[in-house]
C-alpha cells in the first residue's frame, strides 16, 4: 500500500511540474536534448499551460508540492550568486509569503490546544497573517495584560504531508544507494534520517520555544544579536507566543542604508554570530534565511524562528575547528591529515596526494572578496575532489554546511567585499587558544574542583594500601578486554577445527586401510562395516570442522 501511495505521489509531482511548464528543465539536459522534437506529440502540450515567467512557475510548483519543497526553495533563495535574479526574487517569496491558510483554521488550532475560547486567551487577535511559511503562520495578538505579541500556529495536517514526502525521500535514497555508484559514498539514507529528525523537531513549537530561550540566554546583553522573549504561559505543542519585535528585513539593503547602518560591520557581525554559536555555545540557529532575520536601526541582528537548531559532538566540533584553522592558514597537509584522522576519508588515503588536491581547489579563492569568488565553480571542484578520494558525506555536518552557505550568502547580499576568511580566522584562533592553551587548563581545573575536593583526601590512604599490597605480593592486575575475549574464543574454535580435522582425516585413513587390509584378518562384511563407519565418522568430523 505504501509503495502505491509513493508511486501516486511521484505521478503528482510530475503532473505539477508538467502543468507549470517545468518539463523544459528536464528537456534542456544533454540526455534529452535530442528528443525535444517529440514533445509536440505529448498530450500535456495540447492542454492549457501556465504562461507565467519561469521564476514564478518554479515558485508556484514548490508551493503546490508542499513544505519539504518550500524548504528547499528557501535554502536555495539565499544564494543569489548562484541564481538568475528573476528566480532569486521569486524564491525569496517562499521565506515568509507562502499562501496562508484560513484564520478560522488557526483559531481552531489555538482553541483546541488551550481548551477554551479564543476570547479567553487573547485580548485581541488579528486575522490577517503577519507572515506565512511552509509549516506555520504568524498572527499579531494582544495579551490579557495588554502586551503586544505574535502567535505562531502550525498548519493543520502538515505532519501527515511531511511524513508522506519523507517516506518518499527514504525510498529514493534506498534506490540511490542500491543502483547509483555514488549513492553509498553520499550516505543518502543517513542524510534523509538527519533531515527527518530535523523537520519533525520543527513541528514541536514547545521545543522551538525552548531553543529560542536558550539562544536568548546565550546572547543576553549582546550588541550583536537580540532574541525575542518567550511567553511560556501561552505555549503549547502546536502554538507558540513570543514578544513582537520590529526591525528591517535583512534583505532590504536599501532601507538599511537609508538608516545609516554600517553594512560592513553588519556583514562581519553575521559571520561572528555564526561562529560564536557553533564554537562557543555549540548551539546554532540553522535556518538563517532572510525571512527569519531582521536588523534594528542600531545595526543589531534580531532572529526569529528557532525551529531548526544544530549542535555538534565534541569530536566533530574539534575536527571542524582545526580543519578551518588549518585551511585559513593554508596548511593543506594538516587539512588532509585531519580528514584521515577523523575518518572522513579512508585510512589508506595518501596524504601527499590529498594535500595536493585540496591545495589546487583552495588556493584560487584566497585573498579575494566574496564578490569575486565563483562558489558554484568552487563547490563543483570540491565535489570532484571528494569523489576522487572516496570521501563520504558526513550526515551530522550537513545542517552546519547548509547554515554556513546561508551565512555566506547573507554576507554577500549585505557587503559583497566581505572577506569571510579574515573575519573568521581571529575567532577560530581565540577558540583554539581557549581549548588547548593555559586558559583551557584553568577552566577545566575550575570545572573539576568539586570532584577533586571529594577524591583528593582519600588519595594518600589508597596510595599507601597500593604500596603495601605491592610489597607483600598481593598486587594483581585484572584486565578484561573484549578484543582479547574474542581472540580467545576464536582460538578455541580454531583448535576444535584442527582436532576435528586431524581426527576426521585419521578415521578416513583408518577406514581406507581397514577396507584394504582386513579381508585377510576379518570377514569382508565386517571390514566394510567397520571401515565404512570410520570413514563416515571422519567425513562428519571434517564437515563440522569446516562449519565451526
Looking at the predicted structure, is the pLDDT value of residue 399 above 60?
yes
**Stretch 141-152: mean pLDDT:** 96
Q: At residue 162, does pLDDT exceed 60?
A: yes
Q: How far apart are CA 55 and CA 89, in angstroms?
A: 8
pLDDT in tens, 485-519: 665 565 555 555 544 444 444 444 444 433 344 44
Has residue 451 got a pLDDT over 70? no
pLDDT of residue 134: 85
Residue 478 above 80 pLDDT?
Answer: no
Cα 71–Cα 314–Cα 190 angle in degrees, nearest 5: 40
Instruction: Read off the C-alpha cell for 524.
Output: 569382508
Among residues 32, 161, 158, the alpha carbon closest in space to that of 105 is found at: 158
Contact present, 74 and 90 (Cβ < 8 Å)? no
Bridge partners, residue 136, by sequence: 154
pLDDT band at residue 46, thresholds of 50, 70 and 90?
Answer: low
| More confident site: 198 or 530 | 198
Of 412, 405, 371, the residue nearest 263 (C-alpha): 412
- pLDDT (0 to 100) of residue 209: 96
pLDDT value for 142: 97
Whole-number pLDDT of residue 80? 66
Which residues neighbour 344 within 8 Å (Cβ) at sequence distance 6 or greater? 319, 391, 392, 394
211-224 confidence digits (pLDDT tens): 999 999 999 999 99
Looking at residues 415-444, what average pLDDT do you find? 74
* C-alpha span between 436 and 425 (Å, rounded): 17
Which of these ranges, 255-264, 349-358, 450-459, 484-493, has the smallest mean pLDDT? 484-493
Which tens digits make up the pLDDT trace of 294-326?
A: 999 999 999 998 988 888 888 888 888 888 888
100-148-274 Cα angle (round to 5): 70
Q: What is the pLDDT of residue 536?
A: 37
Kindly tell me if the per-residue pLDDT of 139 is higher than 50. yes
Structure confidence at residue 86 as a pLDDT band (50, 70, 90) = confident
Q: What is the pLDDT of residue 493?
A: 57
Most confident range (mean pLDDT) of 5-9, 218-222, 364-368 is 218-222
**77 has a pLDDT exceeding 60:** yes
Residue-level pLDDT at 118:
96
- Residue 361 is predicted with a pLDDT of 84
- At residue 180 the predicted structure's pLDDT band, cuts being 50, 70 and 90, is confident
Strands (E) across 386-449 are located at: none
Work out the average pLDDT over 474-489: 57
Range with top average pLDDT, 92-101, 135-144, 519-528: 135-144
Residue 29 pLDDT > 50, yes or no?
A: no
Give yes or no for a contact between 78 and 405, defined as CB atoms under 8 angstroms apart: yes
pLDDT of residue 2: 65
375 vs 228, residue with greater confidence: 228
- % of the chain surpassing 90 pLDDT: 26
- Is 287 an active-site residue? yes
pLDDT band at 421 (very low <50, low <70, confident <90, very high): confident
- pLDDT band, very low/low/confident/very high, at 73 (cuts 50, 70, 90): confident
For the cut 50, the answer to whether the pLDDT of residue 526 exceeds it is no
pLDDT, one tens digit per residue, over 279-295 is 889 998 888 777 889 99
- SS3 state at 229: coil
Q: In Å, how far are 74, 158, 202, 483 from 197, measured between CA atoms?
A: 19, 15, 9, 34
Report pTM.
0.70
Q: How many residues does the chain have?
A: 548
Pick the catalytic residue from 96, 165, 287, 419.
287
**Arithmetic mean of pLDDT, 390-401:** 73
Q: Give the pLDDT of residue 104.
A: 96
Amino acid at each position: 500500500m505504501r509503495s502505491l501511495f509513493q508511486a501516486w505521489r511521484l505521478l503528482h509531482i510530475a503532473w505539477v511540474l508538467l502543468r507549470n511548464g517545468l518539463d523544459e528543465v528536464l528537456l534542456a539536459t544533454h540526455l534529452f536534448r535530442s528528443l525535444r522534437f517529440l514533445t509536440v506529440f505529448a498530450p500535456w502540450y495540447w492542454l492549457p499551460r501556465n504562461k507565467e515567467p519561469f521564476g514564478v512557475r518554479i515558485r508556484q510548483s514548490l508551493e503546490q508540492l508542499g513544505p519539504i519543497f518550500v524548504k528547499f526553495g528557501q535554502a536555495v533563495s539565499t544564494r543569489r550568486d548562484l541564481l538568475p535574479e528573476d528566480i532569486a526574487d521569486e524564491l525569496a517569496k517562499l521565506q515568509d509569503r507562502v499562501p496562508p491558510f484560513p484564520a478560522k483554521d488557526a483559531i481552531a488550532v489555538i482553541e483546541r490546544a488551550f481548551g477554551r475560547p479564543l476570547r479567553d486567551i487573547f485580548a485581541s487577535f488579528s486575522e490577517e497573517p503577519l507572515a506565512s511559511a511552509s509549516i506555520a503562520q504568524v498572527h499579531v495578538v494582544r495579551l490579557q495584560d495588554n502586551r503586544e505579541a505574535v502567535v505562531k500556529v502550525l498548519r493543520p495536517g502538515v505532519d501527515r504531508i511531511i511524513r508522506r514526502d519523507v517516506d518518499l525521500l527514504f525510498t529514493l535514497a534506498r534506490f540511490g544507494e542500491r543502483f547509483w555508484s555514488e549513492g553509498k559514498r553520499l550516505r543518502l539514507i543517513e542524510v534523509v534520517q538527519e533531515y527527518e529528525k530535523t523537520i519533525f523537531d520543527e513541528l514541536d513549537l514547545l521545543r522551538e520555544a525552548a531553543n529560542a530561550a536558550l539562544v536568548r540566554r546565550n546572547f543576553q546583553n549582546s550588541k550583536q544579536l537580540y532574541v525575542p522573549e518567550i511567553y511560556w504561559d501561552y505555549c503549547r505543542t502546536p502554538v507558540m507566543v513570543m514578544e513582537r519585535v520590529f526591525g528591517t528585513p535583512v534583505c532590504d539593503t536599501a532601507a538599511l542604508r537609508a538608516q545609516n547602518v554600517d553594512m560592513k560591520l553588519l556583514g562581519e557581525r553575521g559571520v561572528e554570530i555564526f561562529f560564536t554559536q557553533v564554537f562557543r555555545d555549540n548551539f546554532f540557529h540553522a535556518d538563517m534565511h532572510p525571512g527569519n532575520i531582521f536588523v534594528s536601526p542600531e545595526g543589531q541582528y534580531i532572529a526569529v524562528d528557532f525551529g531548526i537548531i544544530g549542535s555538534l559532538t565534541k569530536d566533530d566540533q574539534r575536527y571542524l575547528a582545526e580543519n578551518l584553522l588549518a585551511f585559513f592558514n593554508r596548511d593543506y597537509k594538516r587539512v588532509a591529515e585531519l580528514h584521515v584522522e577523523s575518518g572522513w576519508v579512508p585510512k589508506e588515503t595518501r596524504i601527499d596526494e590529498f594535500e595536493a588536491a585540496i591545495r589546487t581547489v583552495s588556493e584560487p579563492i584566497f585573498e579575494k572578496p566574496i564578490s569575486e569568488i565563483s562558489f558554484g565553480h568552487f563547490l563543483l571542484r570540491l565535489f570532484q575532489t571528494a569523489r576522487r578520494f572516496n570521501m563520504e558525506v558526513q550526515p551530522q555536518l550537513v545542517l552546519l554546511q547548509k547554515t554556513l552557505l546561508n551565512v555566506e550568502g547573507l554576507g554577500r547580499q549585505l557587503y559583497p567585499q566581505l572577506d569571510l576568511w579574515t573575519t573568521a580566522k581571529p575567532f577560530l584562533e581565540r577558540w583554539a587558544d581557549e581549548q588547548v592553551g593555559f586558559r583551557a587548563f584553568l577552566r577545566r581545573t575550575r570545572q573539576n574542583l568539586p570532584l577533586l575536593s571529594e577524591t583528593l583526601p582519600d588519595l594518600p590512604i589508597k596510595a599507601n594500601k597500593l604500596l603495601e599490597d605491592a610489597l607483600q605480593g598481593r598486587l594483581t592486575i585484572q584486565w578484561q578486554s573484549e578484543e582479547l575475549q574474542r581472540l580467545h574464543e576464536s582460538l578455541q574454535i580454531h583448535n576444535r577445527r584442527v582436532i576435528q580435522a586431524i581426527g576426521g582425516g585419521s578415521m578416513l585413513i583408518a577406514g581406507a586401510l581397514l577396507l584394504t587390509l582386513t579381508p585377510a584378518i576379518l570377514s569382508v562384511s565386517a571390514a566394510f562395516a567397520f571401515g565404512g563407519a570410520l570413514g563416515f565418522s571422519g567425513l562428519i568430523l571434517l564437515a563440522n570442522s569446516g562449519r565451526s
